[in-house]
Every structure is written in C-alpha cells, then in structure tokens.
C-alpha cells in the first residue's frame, strides 16, 4: 500500500491529485518551484493593476468536473463570466455566437488554486531537480539550498511535458518517450494599460489569422476593476518567436494591435513569455501510472490541454492510485 506521496507541481492537476489522495488518507507533500499555487491559472499583480496572464477562463463539460466547479461556485472561488465577445477574421469584426458557459477564478484567476491549496502541505520556492529510487523509496533533490529529507513510496509529476522529461531521463524510458512526444507551444503575453484607448464595444475577442489570438479587458471579469488588457500571441507565432527579446515581441504585438484599430499611444506594457503554454499529446491518455516504479504523471498535456483536462488528469490519477 502507498503511505507517502510527493507531488511535484502545485498547478491545477497537482492540486487536484494531492487533495484527492489526502482525502483517501494518504500523506502528501507538494513541492512547487514558484512562490504560490495555481501554475498557469495565474494572475500578475502590481501596485497599479492586476491581470490574469495565463488561463483566461475555463469551461466544464465532464460531469465529475461540473460537480467540482459547482463546489467552487458555492465557495465563491469562481464565478461565471459573461463577456461581450467578438471575433476578428479576414479583417472584419463580428459578434461571437458561442454559447459556452465560461468560469473565472474570483477575485483573481489564481484564487482557485489558492483555495485548492488550503489544508495541503506545500513547500514553495522548491524546484525538484532530481529523483532517485533506492530500495523502493524515492529520494528528492532540489535546486535550492534546502534538503528534502523525507522519503516517498510514490512520486507524481504534475508539470509540463518538457520539464517532466528532464526529470524522467534515466528513470523510465516509456514515460520519457511519452513526455517527449508531447508538443507544447509557447505563448507571448502582453498586459497593457492603454490610456488613450476609448472603450470598445466588446470585452474580449478571438483574433484569427494574426500574430495575436486573444484580447481581453480584465475589468470585464467579475470582481475586477481597471482597464488593463491581456493580449495573447497566437501559439504558432509565439512558438516561432519564442527566443525574441521582450522588447521585440512587444513591438510586433503593438504593431498588430494598432492594425486592429487600438490606440497604443503612451501605453504602459508588461510582457510575459510562457515557454510551455498549451498543447500536449495528440491523443490524450488521461494520465500515466507506473505502479512498479511508483511513479505517476498528470497534467493538461496528457488530457487534451486546458484547466478542465488538467483537473481531471490529477483527480483520475489519484483514483487509480487508490487501486494499487
């Protein structure tokens, strides 16, 4: 039986897995390299503004995930967002007729991760750099000065595929091959305060066939204020230009925005590069469980991408772990 599990990564998949394992009576420690939970479901905050710079919203289709989202709604950690949405395509704007129910974390996108992290043992600012299995026990090493002395029966990697691949090298060739088969793409993200931009007649827009693929006014989401826009580069353009400097990426995105009719004069802009934003395996496998070496993999990249896929991947891995 499994008594003690280490979960690497406090994104939505790692948090879902850790919570479910803990509720089954298993002792769980989570290790996270950044300063807080929630991973790519994230928020950038400065003194003057805040903006969701990773996931913009999420949808729920699977019955088990819908049930989970209902509990988040009740806890007030998510709300429904009903934006006035447009689509820009072939140089023309049109209304979007999408009927999706869209959810956002409240008051920030990362509030949901913070909510899920409550009651879990999580060590932040700890980057796991190596895993070693000796005598049926896992030994963890981290890049920072502190030492991880606890030993674990089982390790869950809840991190993007390229980062999982690095940790898996030499441990299990099948798992490494699966991680290497995943194609993840970058995303250049621009957070812009546009003082000279008059209010547009939409809250957010899907932009097709341009280097920008999404633009959203942050203040249109529940419990937010202010006029900061979040703008995402398209996956293909971002991936092809992943090595640009922030200045050069910003220059190209501002040119595109201007061509879309935005007034970018005197803009106050902050850029973020997500190296592994979206994508994954062509045919999702949900999660990967290797009981013999005591290893599990979960994350959006194994399950169709997106917040819903990430949560289900972590949750279902925990259920499968219970069976061994």
Which residues would be at the binding site for ligand FAD (CB under 6 A)?
8-14, 31-34, 39-41, 54-58, 127-128, 158-160, 163, 187, 189, 232, 274, 277-278, 299-300, 305-307, 310
- Supply the minimum distance, in Å, between the C-beta of residue 59 and ligand FAD: 7
User: What is the Cα–Cα distance from 178 to 113, expressed in whole angstroms?
Assistant: 27
Shortest gap between Cβ of 286 and ligand FAD (angstroms)?
12
Cα distance from N-terminal residue to C-terminal residue, the chain: 7
Least distance (Å) between residue 11 CB and ligand FAD? 2
Continuous segment of H or E residues that includes residue 319: helix 306-322
User: Minimum distance between the CB of residue 265 and ligand FAD, rounded to whole angstroms?
Assistant: 26
Q: Please report how close the Cβ of residue 90 comes to ligand FAD at its closest, in angstroms.
A: 23
Nearest partner of 232 among 84, 53, 11, 41, judged by Cα: 53
The nearest distance, CB 126 to ligand FAD, in angstroms, is 6
Q: Which residue, 40 or 221, has its beta carbon nearer to ligand FAD?
A: 40
Cβ(37)–Cβ(189) below 8 Å: no
Residue 249: count other Cβ atoms within 10 Å of its Cβ: 23
- Least distance from ligand FAD to the Cβ atom of residue 272, Å: 8
- Shortest Cβ 134–ligand FAD spacing (Å): 20
Closest CA to 85 of 216, 203, 257, 228: 203
Q: Which is nearer to ligand FAD, 10 or 215 (CB)?
A: 10
DSSP designation for 58: B
Residue 101 half-sphere exposure toward CB, CA atoms < 13 A: 10
Residue closer to ligand FAD by CB (options 105, 198) is 105
∠ Cα 119 120 126 (to 5°): 140
Q: For residues 100 and 265, which CB has a smaller minimum distance to ligand FAD in the complex?
A: 100
51 CB-contact burial (10 Å; exposed 0-12 / middle 13-18 / buried 19+): buried
Nearer to ligand FAD, 91 or 256 (CB): 256
In the complex with ligand FAD, which residue's Cβ is closer, 162 or 219? 162
In this structure, the chain runs to a length of 324
Output 39 or 294, the one with its CB closest to ligand FAD.
39
Nearest-angstrom CA–CA distance, 155 and 191 = 36
Per-position b or e across 54-65, b if 16+ CB within 10 A of its CB? bbbbbebeeeeb
């Amino acid at each position: 039986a499994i008594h003690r599990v280490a979960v690497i990564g406090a994104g939505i998949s790692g948090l879902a897995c850790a919570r479910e394992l803990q509720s089954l009576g298993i002792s769980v420690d989570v290790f996270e390299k950044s300063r807080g939970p929630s991973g790519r479901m994230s928020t950038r905050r400065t003194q003057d503004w805040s903006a969701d710079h990773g996931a913009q919203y999420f949808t729920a289709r699977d019955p088990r995930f819908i049930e989970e989202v209902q509990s988040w709604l009740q806890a007030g950690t998510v709300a429904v967002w009903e934006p006035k949405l447009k689509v820009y395509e072939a140089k023309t704007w049109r209304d979007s007729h999408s009927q999706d129910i869209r959810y956002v974390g409240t008051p920030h996108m990362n509030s949901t991760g913070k909510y899920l992290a409550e009651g879990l043992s999580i060590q932040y600012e700890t980057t796991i750099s190596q895993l070693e299995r000796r005598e049926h026990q896992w030994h963890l090493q981290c890049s920072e000065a502190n030492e991880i002395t606890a030993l674990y029966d089982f390790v869950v990697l809840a991190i993007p595929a390229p980062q999982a691949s690095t940790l898996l090298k030499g441990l299990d060739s099948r798992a490494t091959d699966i991680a290497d088969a995943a194609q993840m793409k970058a995303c250049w993200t621009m957070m812009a305060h546009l003082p000279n931009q008059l209010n547009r007649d939409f809250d957010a827009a899907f932009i097709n066939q341009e280097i920008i693929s999404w633009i959203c006014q942050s203040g249109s989401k529940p419990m937010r204020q202010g006029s900061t826009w979040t703008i995402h580069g398209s996956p293909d353009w971002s991936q092809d230009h992943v090595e640009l400097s922030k200045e050069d990426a910003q220059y190209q995105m501002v040119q595109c925005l201007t061509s879309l009719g935005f007034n970018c004069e005197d803009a106050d802009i902050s850029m973020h590069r997500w190296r592994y934003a979206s994508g994954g395996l062509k045919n999702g496998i949900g999660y990967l469980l290797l009981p013999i070496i005591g290893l599990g993999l979960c994350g959006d990249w194994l399950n169709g991408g997106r917040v819903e896929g990430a949560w289900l991947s972590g949750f279902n891995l925990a259920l499968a772990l219970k069976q061994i």
